[in-house]
Amino acid sequence: MRHRLMMLLLGVAVMVTSGCGFHLRGTTQVPEELKTMMLDSYDPYGPLTRAVRQQLRLNNVNVVEKSARKDLPSLRIVSATQGQDTVSIFQDGKTAEYQLVMVVNAQVLLPGHDLYPVQAKVFRSFFDNPLTALAKDAEQDIIVQEMREQAAQQLVRKLLTVHASEEGKKPQVSLSDDGAESTPPLTTTGAIQPASVNAQ
């Protein structure tokens, strides 16, 4: 009897969370017009591109390999840089802690519309212990991979901002008192500004 009650409560919890819009951590409700898109990268087979492709698929985006199609939106990974800054030092002057910084620049191209630049920036702290050189290198590799995954998640979330910018550019038609349609002036405060560079 107790087992059945637990199963019933578990079933109710699943129904409630699915009905209230609950989603798994790390997933994004990608707009329908971006559910199928091409992925282009300066490093097509690199670990960052693989992380972005995986995040897109986890968010139910159908990733199409680069082709001659002109009717599909495109996410272009333009560049990625990684650096480190000293945060703290030991008494002998050697670096004790670094702050790792990863910056990924990308562009979202919407066919027939604008080219939107997007950027992901990730920061992580890393302790430099000279007594454990091998463990330190392995730890840094793990941290860098986690930073790639976080940057990929940020890029996928930026797709929502691009969608909001496109929606903000659409004229809103309303009816005036006499029944005639009128279009209010358009404002896009806070939205991503499209780049002035035309897509090739």
* pLDDT band (50, 70, 90) for residue 138: confident
What per-residue confidence (pLDDT) applies to 191?
52
pLDDT (tens digit per residue) in 36-90: 999 999 999 999 999 999 999 999 999 987 766 778 999 999 999 999 888 888 7
Q: Return the pLDDT at 92.
A: 79
Catalogue the long-range contacts made by 30-34 (C-beta closer than 8 Å, 24 or more residues apart): 30/59, 30/60, 30/61, 30/156, 30/159, 30/160, 31/159, 31/160, 31/163, 33/73, 33/110, 33/163, 34/61, 34/73, 34/159, 34/162, 34/163
- pLDDT value for 170: 66
23 against 191, higher pLDDT: 191
Name the residue ranges covered by the structural domains of the chain.
31-166
More confident residue, 163 or 12: 163
pLDDT 10s digits, 96-105: 888 999 999 9
CATH fold of 31-166: Double Stranded RNA Binding Domain (3.30.160)
As a whole number, mean pLDDT of residues 17-23 equals: 42
